[in-house]
A and B are shown apart, each in its own frame.
Chain A
Amino acid sequence: MQLTRRQTLGLAGSAAALAMTGIQIAPVFASAEDATKYIMEFTGGKEPTAGKVSLNAPEIAENGNTVPISVSVESAMSGDDLVESVMLVADGNPLPAVATFHFTELSGKAEATTRMRLAKTQNVIAVAKMKDGSVYSDTKLVKVTIGGCGG
């Protein structure tokens, strides 16, 4: 196909416009895939099973700057029935990592509460790693009215 000068310019222009919008959207937020990859690094490639973990988060967070999040895992917290760590992940923030709690027998219970930032409406995921190597998870969708990343 023979291109005229006008057609060539037009094509180049639209390609540039596409590239620009691509740049604006792409790098700002972590995608669900990034979050999954991050979880897999934590579990050593093991797919977490649903159950045992319960994640408590508000259904609607008016202010994304401080969203209370609490997590608890069913466990006797002694001997082999021990929760070693719980990782919190957000799949729509600039970075998926939120925090990782490490428990011991002296914790008594595998429970913790903190406050986190949410940039927009997204899933918050808690993944628990037990002493015997099994992994469990729970996911909550939190709707955010005002984003919390100051952008």
Chain B
Amino acid sequence: MAKPRVKVPNSAKAGEVITIKTLISHTMESGQRKDKDGNVIPRKIINKFTCEFNGTKVFESDIDPAISANPFFEFTAKVNESGTFKFTWVDDDGTVYTDEKKIEVN
């Protein structure tokens, strides 16, 4: 079970560029490994990560199997108003994991 963890500051000044850190627990099976009988273990990774603020896209990443297990992303966001960040991770099997964080801007 993938469990997302996100770090966003609780508050910021208007126009400030803040740093966001995200991590989700996931094996990120690359599709390159073989089990002990020599069969290829099928690929199963998180293939897309998106961050939105009040419905507008802030940052997005297409992810390939070369990203480590428990994919970690650190990026920035410019906040002009209070609102909610929404984070989305898409699994190869179609499962979508989400998390939300509020920020107060003054």
Query: Distance (Å) between the CB of B62 and the closest chain A CB?
Result: 4
Instruction: Give Cα A66–Cα B76 distance, bound, in whole angstroms.
Output: 22
Chain A contact residues (Cβ within 8 angstroms of B): what range?
20 to 34
Task: Find out whether the CB atom of B71 lies under 8 angstroms from the CB atom of A114.
Answer: yes
CB-contact partner of A70 in B66, B68, B74, under 8 A = B74
Residues of A within 8 A of B69 (CB): 65-66
Tell me whether A99 is interfacial, beta carbon within 8 Å. Answer: yes
Query: Distance (Å) between the CB of A77 and the closest chain B CB?
Result: 8
Task: Find out whether the CB atom of B17 lies under 8 angstroms from the CB atom of A109.
Answer: yes
Q: Between A and B, how many residue pairs show CB distances below 8 Å?
A: 103
Given contacts A66-B68, A114-B71, whether A105 and B78 have CB atoms under 8 Å apart is: yes
Instruction: Give Cα A77–Cα B77 distance, bound, in whole angstroms.
Output: 11
Instruction: Give Cα A64–Cα B77 distance, bound, in whole angstroms.
Output: 29
Task: Find out whether the CB atom of B61 lies under 8 angstroms from the CB atom of A94.
Answer: no
CB-contact partner of B58 in A70, A94, A104, under 8 A = A104
- Nearest A-chain residue to B78, judged by Cβ: A108
Task: Find out whether the CB atom of B73 lies under 8 angstroms from the CB atom of A113.
Answer: yes
Most buried by A among B17, B57, B59, B74: B59
Digitize A83-110: 1 where CB-to-B-CB distance is under 8 Å, 0 elsewhere.
Answer: 0000000100111011111111111110
Instruction: Give Cα A77–Cα B18 distance, bound, in whole angstroms.
Output: 14
Tell me whether B101 is interfacial, beta carbon within 8 Å. Answer: no
Query: Distance (Å) between the CB of A105 and the closest chain B CB?
Result: 7
* 10 A-B contacts (beta carbon < 8 Å): A98-B66, A101-B60, A105-B78, A112-B61, A114-B61, A114-B74, A115-B68, A117-B30, A117-B66, A150-B30
